[in-house]
Chains A and B, each alone.
Chain A
Amino acid sequence: MEPIMPYLRAFLVGGLICVVAQLLLDGTRINPAHVMVTFVCLGAVISALGLYQPLIDFGGAGATVPLTGFGHALLQGINKDVMEFGPVGLLTGGLRATSLGITVAIVSGVLVAMFFNPKGN
């Protein structure tokens, strides 16, 4: 039982975050872009309150993969750089901490666009 527990916890946390997004899409007039921005900001706020790290400790990738995890990483990166380099860290920390995710997104976008065409639906 033990080896599958991390997956179940990730599914639970990630799933619940996605349920909130789905409720926002279905119950309000906001569009997907609004949800994305809201979630990044929400993640940063929760992170600032010190509540996001416990969520990651419990849910692992279920908490880091959704966009709220991106907001958390931005804020923690800024925090780290400010500690290390002073106020300039406000401007450098966010991108430094999230550079892996951003670069993977850009590179995979380019690769997919090079080899595949959209088929529509």
Chain B
Amino acid sequence: MDAGSKERQLTKRIGRQTLLFRRRPVVVSTATAVGPEETKGPLAADFDVTHHSNLFGQKSWEHAETFMLRESAKLAISKVGLSPDQIDLMLAGDLLNQIIASSFAARDLYIPFIGLYGACSTMAEGLALGAVFVDGGYADRVVAAVSSHYDSAERQYRYPTEFGAQRVPTAQRTVTGAGAALLAGSGEGPVITHATIGRVVDMGIKDANAMGTAMAPAAAHTILQHFTDTGLRPDHYDLVATGDLASVGHGIASELLREGGLDLGTRYTDCGMLIYDLNQQRVSSGGSGCGCSAVVFCGHFMRRMLQGELRRVLLVSTGALLSPTTTQQGDTIPCIAHAVAVEMPPPSGQPGGEG
């Protein structure tokens, strides 16, 4: 091995936690499916599949979630004229016990499958791992998909919705939605340039109704680490979007970032605040769930990147790694955030940016 190739190998990893993708895997297509509440929100026009009922014509919430995940994966694949048998790998995760929405959807797709669990950080986790597979040459086409569903999540984590328990103001509404992204070694579309793998951060929050507060330190840590590792300036990205901190967590994360010496100003947003109209819809402090950052990224951000409104986006999906059992036993909430940097290359023929 000569010095040059060794150098290239080493620089696939920069700083403490960041991966650099030299082959720049392309997000060639994305697709989304959302429930009725999400179609009342401001991003309704950016979603592909919807239904007037949270059941999507299925017989249970869990079947509905599986349906959304499967349909969004199939649609992301068919949008570029491919079929599932031409896909090398499916990476998927959700919030249900034993990630059944993902496994049951994968059962019908006949694509080699790896299940992921990163709670609500799974979209960024899937994109990062998919990019690793493509960049490393182990797969040429990878579909990364996640889902969450309000009623199935409430049944598992809190109370069945038919019980009618009151929700507290700091609570968030789990997004009923699934998003899928098809990554490929070549093609048209935004490229994944970096991924920063998060560390588990636990600041001792125990209240399962204050997820945004619990996750904000993990998000801030990953964002600060990303800028430290890459040496990029705060204005490198048009948008830095956390996954589902919602309004309460967004404020805390902004403050933590400023304390860390990073002022992103209005470039910093949160998918949980974008997906609903916080004044008009009864969603407490905003959206949450795997589906939140998934549908906002795969629907809204992708549309804006493809239309040239956004050039570079840092998606920082945030996850609370608790279980109903740990909550009942009074444990604190360990949290994580993974960051994925996505960039729209300039139209071919024009010189590239600093990249």
Residues in A lying within 8 Å of B, measured CB to CB: 25-26, 29, 31-32, 118-121
The residues of A that contact B161 with a CB separation of less than 8 Å are: 118, 120-121
Residue of A nearest to B160 (CB): A118
Residue of B nearest to A31 (CB): B165
The residues of A that contact B61 with a CB separation of less than 8 Å are: 120
Cα–Cα distance between A25 and B167 once the two chains are bound (Å): 10
The residues of A that contact B53 with a CB separation of less than 8 Å are: 119-120
Could you tell me if A120 and B150 are in contact, using CB atoms closer than 8 angstroms?
Answer: yes
The residues of A that contact B168 with a CB separation of less than 8 Å are: 25-26
Cα–Cα distance between A120 and B37 once the two chains are bound (Å): 11
Could you tell me if B166 and A32 are in contact, using CB atoms closer than 8 angstroms?
Answer: yes
Could you tell me if B55 and A120 are in contact, using CB atoms closer than 8 angstroms?
Answer: yes
Residue of B nearest to A113 (CB): B162
A-B contact pairs, 20 of them (CB 8 A): A25-B166, A25-B168, A26-B168, A31-B165, A32-B159, A32-B166, A118-B160, A118-B161, A118-B162, A119-B53, A119-B54, A119-B55, A120-B53, A120-B54, A120-B55, A120-B61, A120-B151, A120-B162, A121-B151, A121-B161
Q: Does B309 contact A (CB under 8 A)?
A: no
Cα–Cα distance between A120 and B163 once the two chains are bound (Å): 10
Residues in B lying within 8 Å of A, measured CB to CB: 53-55, 61, 150-151, 159-162, 165-166, 168, 207
Residue of B nearest to A116 (CB): B162
Cα–Cα distance between A93 and B61 once the two chains are bound (Å): 41
The residues of B that contact A119 with a CB separation of less than 8 Å are: 53-55
Residue of A nearest to B210 (CB): A29
Cα–Cα distance between A120 and B161 once the two chains are bound (Å): 6
Cα–Cα distance between A32 and B159 once the two chains are bound (Å): 10
Cα–Cα distance between A26 and B162 once the two chains are bound (Å): 21
Residue of B nearest to A112 (CB): B162
Residue of B nearest to A32 (CB): B165
Known: A118-B160, A119-B55; 7 extra A-B contacts, CB below 8 A, are A25-B168, A119-B54, A120-B54, A120-B55, A120-B61, A120-B162, A121-B151
Cα–Cα distance between A34 and B53 once the two chains are bound (Å): 32
The residues of A that contact B159 with a CB separation of less than 8 Å are: 32
Could you tell me if B151 and A29 are in contact, using CB atoms closer than 8 angstroms?
Answer: no
Residue of A nearest to B159 (CB): A32
Cα–Cα distance between A121 and B150 once the two chains are bound (Å): 8
The residues of B that contact A32 with a CB separation of less than 8 Å are: 159, 165-166
The residues of A that contact B151 with a CB separation of less than 8 Å are: 118, 120-121
Cα–Cα distance between A31 and B209 once the two chains are bound (Å): 10
The residues of B that contact A120 with a CB separation of less than 8 Å are: 53-55, 61, 150-151, 161-162
Could you tell me if A29 and B166 are in contact, using CB atoms closer than 8 angstroms?
Answer: no
The residues of B that contact A29 with a CB separation of less than 8 Å are: 207
The residues of B that contact A25 with a CB separation of less than 8 Å are: 166, 168
Nearest CB on B from A108, distance (A): 14
Cα–Cα distance between A121 and B283 once the two chains are bound (Å): 11
Residue of B nearest to A25 (CB): B166
Nearest CB on B from A21, distance (A): 10
Residue of B nearest to A29 (CB): B207
Residue of B nearest to A26 (CB): B168
